Amino acid sequence: MESNRTLSVYESAVISAIAPAIAVFFSNPFDVAKVRMQLQGENQAVGRAYKHSFDCIYKMGSQEGFHALYKGIVPAVFREASKNLFRIGMFEPILNTIHNPNSGTSAPAWKRMVVGCLCGAMGALSCNPFELAKTRLQSSVKSVAGAKVGFQHGYTGLWDALRSIVKRDGFSGLYRGSTMSMTRSLVGSGSNMTIYSLTKESMLRRGYADVAWVDTGCGFFSAFWSVICMNPIDTLRTRYYNQPTFPDGRGQLYSSGFDAFRKVTKAEGYSALYKGFVSHFLRIGPHFALSFCFIGILRRQYWAYQDYRENRSSIKRLSLN
């Protein structure tokens, strides 16, 4: 995907983990808004707390303080690193094993889709404990003035959340909703990585330079289609993640993803599956754009450093001779 050069599996994994972990600091406010919007309406007696995504962000900032926009930021960083180590970091190495990059032909879309789905599913499974804790922390409202949506778990932070989940539901509780999460990421990552890689390769073939704005534009374009594909699953997963549980670990509101789908659509209509779509795209769009931008920058800087070391070694060898 990056001109003619490739990274080792280790190098690709490290760079792909670091870049999204940085990007999440820019996108987290929209992620909090997305979670709040998706939980809104679960309890019909409470009514609507937020009119739309921007109203949600405004009310969180004014009623709960600026820090509310960064609820769940610690698990979000761990989530991005652990997820994208597989989702993005393993994409190119695995694709190169099923399609020879030196064959002179571009990998077909179906191969990219298969690899994108596989990497997305692996990434979702690896980050599920952090995803679960993040969702519950982002829905938490401690301010008296703040509007409460969804069940309030009352966690104080990441480690309190993980400890409380294990204590109440056992270690397996950390993987609550992992099947839904893997399905979401399978759909989202498959479309995202396929569209991003094909779009970028097309631009490079047309003569565009391998620069940051190309990474950013391709990432943003691929994000739109990813959100369309995965928003319904994302909404159901948010509801499933945030529900209270019985002492034996069973959910009090939804028994499975299919049960959540049935209850949500029956009570709120099929349009409820696209709740939080704007917030979702406002989060995913800039996040994917920045993630791929940072990955591109880190790769090019790493290659420049390698070239510098090689040139320096060559000069030393010549001087010794």
- Tell me the average pLDDT across 159-172: 94
Identify the bridge partners of residue 245 per DSSP, sorted by sequence position.
251
Q: What percent of the chain has pLDDT over 70?
A: 95
Local structure of residue 251 (DSSP, 8 states)? B
Check: CB of residue 288 under 8 Å from CB of residue 208: no
For residues 78 and 101, give the distance between their C-alpha atoms in angstroms, rounded to a whole number: 32
Q: How far apart are CA 277 and CA 148, in angstroms?
A: 20
The residue among 76, 71, 36 whose CA lies nearest residue 156 is: 71
125-165 residue pLDDT tens:
999 999 999 999 999 887 655 667 888 898 999 999 999 99
As for how many domains the chain has, the answer is: 1
Measure the CA–CA gap between 36 and 308, rounded to whole angstroms: 48
Q: Which residue, chain included where needed, has tokens 């004014």?
A: 62
Q: Name the one residue in this structure whose structure tokens are 């479309």.
A: 191
Neighbours of 267 (CB within 10 A): 11
Cα torsion 79, 222, 189, 197: sign: negative
* pLDDT band at residue 5 using 50, 70 and 90 as cut-offs: confident
In the prediction, which pLDDT does 311 show? 86
Q: Which pLDDT tens digit goes with each residue over 260-297?
A: 999 999 999 999 999 989 989 999 999 999 999 999 99
Residue 321 binned pLDDT confidence (cut-offs 50, 70, 90) = low
Q: Determine the structural domain holding residue 294 and report its residue range.
A: 9-300
Tell me whether residue 281 is in a domain: yes
> Does the pLDDT at position 191 exceed 50?
yes
- For residue 137, count CB atoms less than 10 angstroms from its CB and return exposed for 0-12, middle for 13-18, buried for 19 or more: buried
Q: Is 313 part of any domain?
A: no
Looking at the chain, list the stretches that DSSP marks H as alpha helix, in order from N- to C-terminal side.
9-39, 53-59, 73-87, 91-98, 109-139, 158-169, 178-205, 212-242, 257-268, 277-320
Model pLDDT, residue 143: 66
Phi-psi sector, 73: left (phi>0), alpha (psi -120 to 50), beta: alpha
What global pTM score does this model have? 0.87
Q: Are 87 and 185 in contact (CB under 8 A)?
A: yes
Over residues 195-217, the mean pLDDT reads 96
Q: In whole angstroms, what is the distance from residue 22 CA to residue 43 CA?
A: 35
pLDDT at 2 over 60: no
* Percent over 90 (pLDDT), the chain: 76
CA dihedral 23, 28, 30, 34 (to 10 degrees): 120
Looking at the domain assignment, is residue 295 inside a domain?
yes
Rounded Cα distance between 42 and 71, Å, is 21
Q: CATH number, domain at 203? A: 1.50.40.10
The verdict on residue 309 lying in a domain is: no
Asked if the model's pLDDT at residue 117 lies above 60, the reply is yes
pLDDT grade for 317, boundaries at 50, 70 and 90? confident
The pLDDT value recorded for residue 40 is: 86
Confidence of residue 1 (pLDDT cuts 50, 70, 90): very low
Residue 33: the pLDDT is 93
pLDDT higher than 70, residue 44: no
Amino acid at 242: N
Task: Give the separation between CA 88 and CA 292, rounded to whole angstroms.
Answer: 9
Q: Is residue 314 part of a domain?
A: no
Using an 8 Å Cβ cutoff, are 281 and 223 in contact?
yes
Least confident of 38-42, 80-84, 106-110, 209-213: 38-42
Does 317 reside within a domain? no
pLDDT at 4 > cutoff 70:
no
Calculate the average pLDDT of the chain.
91
Please determine, for residue 316, whether its predicted confidence score (pLDDT) is greater than 90.
no
User: What one-letter code names the amino acid at 166?
Assistant: V
Q: What pLDDT does residue 92 have?
A: 94
Position 316 in a domain? no
